[in-house]
């Protein structure tokens, strides 16, 4: 058995601001250079992906993506340094919380070398 934890950030009104889904969208924008392609890769439509970005930008009060219109090499979307910082900071937080929860799970549910929640053995 293992413990599972999902980490997200909300505002004071409990609206989702940032989590693994928005992180995935931003990371895919970074690799594809396209909001549309990033949205497709994570299974959402362009409008929803763009809405996620705008919500996050509103709370951070900085741009996270730069869009270059046109065709060819100079078109597409790129992340700002702030977006990369937000991704990295979230990943550190998520990692630390998951690591702590795993350690705490072991402390609480594996006492004296025995699992507290183990299946009953057939006799």
* 27-63 confidence digits (pLDDT tens): 999 999 999 999 999 999 999 999 999 999 999 999 9
* Residue owning tokens 């046109």: 70
* 2 falls within a domain: no
Parallel, antiparallel or unpaired: strands 65-68 and 110-111: unpaired
Q: What is the mean pLDDT of the chain?
A: 90
- Residue listed under structure tokens 């934890």: 5
Question: Would you state the pLDDT for residue 64?
Answer: 96
What pLDDT band is residue 119 in, cutting at 50, 70 and 90? low
Q: Which domain holds residue 25?
A: 17-112
| Domain assignment present for 120 | no
CATH code, domain with 61 = 1.10.10.10
Question: How far is residue 81's CA from residue 30's CA, in Å, rounded to a whole number?
Answer: 11
Count structural domains, the chain.
1
Does 31 map to a domain? yes
C-alpha atoms less than 13 angstroms from C-alpha of 93 in its C-beta half-sphere: 14
0.85 cut: is pTM over it?
no
């Amino acid at each position: 058995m293992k413990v599972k934890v999902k980490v997200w950030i909300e505002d004071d009104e409990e609206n989702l601001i940032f989590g693994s889904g928005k992180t995935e969208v931003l990371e895919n924008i970074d690799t594809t250079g396209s909001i549309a392609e990033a949205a497709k890769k994570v299974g959402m439509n362009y409008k929803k992906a763009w809405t996620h970005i705008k919500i996050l930008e509103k709370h951070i009060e900085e741009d996270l993506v730069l869009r270059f219109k046109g065709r060819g090499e100079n078109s597409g979307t790129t992340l700002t340094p702030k977006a990369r910082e937000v991704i990295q900071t979230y990943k550190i937080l998520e990692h630390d919380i998951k690591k702590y929860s795993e350690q705490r799970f072991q402390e609480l549910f594996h006492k004296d070398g025995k699992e507290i929640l183990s299946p009953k053995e057939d006799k």
